[in-house]
């Protein structure tokens, strides 16, 4: 199975990408890797992984999974990282009820106790139409 965090043109297998992170056999080596794994977890309705990688100070009490197949693409716009903090800007597309929606967000991450955690994010009102970086 192609990993959901990758473009269709990138034949990266789930078991070689986000699968080991979801299984807990390895920790995300970077905030970008965690961002990709969190997106894949949303796409696969793996809410336990999303919850476990959310910083406890900002984690919602209750999370609900979207049906598998709702999240259809991820595009990383920009990522920057220091030893303890990082940001990742991305555009994710979803399909619900026959309509496609766009979520553009700049997410903040913190590195604590040897692992990256999602802290929070700022939704981009323009749909993330800024410059793209790879």
pLDDT in tens, 96-113: 988 999 999 999 999 999
C-beta of residue 61 within 8 angstroms of C-beta of residue 23: no
What residues make up the domain containing 38?
Answer: 14-123
* 24 part of a folded domain: yes
Rounded to two decimals, what is the model's pTM?
A: 0.91
Residue 49 has phi, psi (to 5 degrees) of -65, -45
* 107 part of a folded domain: yes
* 26 part of a folded domain: yes
* 2 part of a folded domain: no
C-beta of residue 105 within 8 angstroms of C-beta of residue 93: no
Q: Is the pLDDT of residue 132 over 80?
A: no
* 35 part of a folded domain: yes
* 8 part of a folded domain: no
Give percent above pLDDT 90 in the chain.
Answer: 85
pLDDT of residue 133: 35
**CATH number of the domain enclosing 31:** 3.10.450.50
* 5 part of a folded domain: no
- Average pLDDT rounded to a whole number, residues 62-87: 95
Beta-sheet pairing, 99-112 with 115-123: antiparallel
* 86 part of a folded domain: yes
Calculate the alpha carbon distances from 124 to 90, 98, 128, 129 in Å.
10, 23, 6, 9
Identify the band that residue 134 occupies on the pLDDT scale cut at 50, 70 and 90.
Answer: very low
Please count the structural domains in the chain: 1
The answer for residues whose C-beta is within 8 angstroms of residue 117's C-beta and 6 or more apart is: 34, 53, 54, 55, 109, 110, 111
């Amino acid at each position: 199975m192609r990993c959901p965090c990758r473009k269709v043109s990138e034949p990266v297998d789930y078991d070689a990408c986000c699968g080991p992170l979801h299984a807990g056999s390895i920790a995300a080596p970077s905030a970008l890797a965690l961002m990709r794994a969190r997106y894949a977890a949303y796409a696969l309705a793996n809410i336990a992984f999303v919850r476990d990688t959310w910083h406890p100070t900002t984690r919602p009490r209750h999370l609900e999974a979207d049906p598998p197949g709702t999240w259809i693409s991820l595009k990383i716009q920009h990522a920057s990282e220091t030893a303890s903090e990082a940001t990742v800007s991305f555009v994710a597309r979803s399909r619900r009820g026959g309509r496609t929606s766009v979520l553009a967000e700049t997410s903040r991450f913190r590195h604590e106790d040897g692992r990256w955690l999602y802290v929070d994010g700022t939704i981009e009102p323009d749909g993330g139409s800024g410059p793209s970086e790879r």
